[in-house]
Amino acid sequence: MPAERIDGVAIAARVRATVAADAAALKAARGVTPGLTVVLVGDDPASAVYVASKEKACKEAGMNGETIRLAASTPEAELLAVIDRLNADATVHGILVQMPVPKHIDAQKVIRRIDPRKDVDGFHPVNAGKVLIGDADGFAPCTPAGVQVMLVESGVDTAGKEAVILGRSTIVGKPMAALLIQSGKGADCTVTICHSRTKDLKAHTRRADILIAAIGKPEMVTADMVKPGAVVIDVGINRVDDPTAKKGYRIVGDVQYDTVREVASKITPVPGGVGPMTIAMLLANTVRAARLSVGA
């Protein structure tokens, strides 16, 4: 029997509805409208699309969503000054600098300049540390946080399960592992992280009860790499040429969906899986930042 499809669009819609209700409640109780400011440096078209969808999502949830657009030539010091201003602005609860930034700007310096209490992307080392030690005050990066919500919402019992994560980036693989090794709901896993230097990848993936692919390699995970009955979460977003498609390309994940779904028990599609969760979790983090800012 083919795997059950985990519907990221539907789960994200539920998260966004909860966020909208929380935002309305905070406004009613404390007169505070949660606000996210996104800073976009340069004119990368993909980044412009992401930023526009974040602003739109904020507004749909009854939150303030503002974008500050800076020229690609903006000096690093000027960007840092913008962050300082936003850090000091009580109406801004979440700050996100859209990555990548132009090469003359040190991304790590930028991330470290954001007040950790407004770092709703969860990239500041303070938040990375809090997520690792299981401090509930921290902000987890939105993509792995979204994966964890998907596991819970689709009824996956994670306790005691072997979770194998493909990819060790600081935005997906590592924080994903940090979330799954905590004790509690959607966690309590035994975690393995694999990367490009891992020997015999298949031996690891075949052990996984929960397999999370975040490697950025189109359809690299094939059915023979998956344990029958495993839950497969595909974080990958890859563009592949497709002359039959209107745009000349299509988007695929890191997992070969059509074959793996014959082996897995549950699987996320691409698109329509993890992707929509990322923005939903960004909104959730922003509302939480707003609540924390007024001690609510």
Whether the ω angle into residue 100 lies within 30 degrees of 0, i.e. cis, is yes
Q: Which of 22, 119, 121, 234 is catalytic?
A: 121
Q: Say whether 121 is catalytic.
A: yes
Q: Say whether 98 is catalytic.
A: yes
| Contact map string, positions 234 to 273, toward ligand NDP, x by CB under 6 A | -xxxx-----------------------------------
Residue from 166, 255, 264, 280 touching ligand NDP (CB under 6 A): that is 166
When asked if residue 168 is in the footprint of ligand NDP (CB under 6 A), the reply is yes
| Contact map string, positions 186 to 225, toward ligand NDP, x by CB under 6 A | --------xxxxx--x------------xxxx--------
Residue from 74, 143, 158, 293 touching ligand NDP (CB under 6 A): that is 143
Shortest separation between residue 211's beta carbon and ligand NDP, angstroms: 12
d(CA 164, CA 6): 18
What is the CA 178 to chain-centroid distance, rounded? 14
Residue from 144, 167, 175, 186 touching ligand NDP (CB under 6 A): that is 167
Could you give the residue numbers annotated as active site? 54, 98, 121
- Residues binding ligand NDP (CB under 6 A): 143, 166-169, 171-173, 194-198, 201, 214-217, 235-238, 274-275, 278
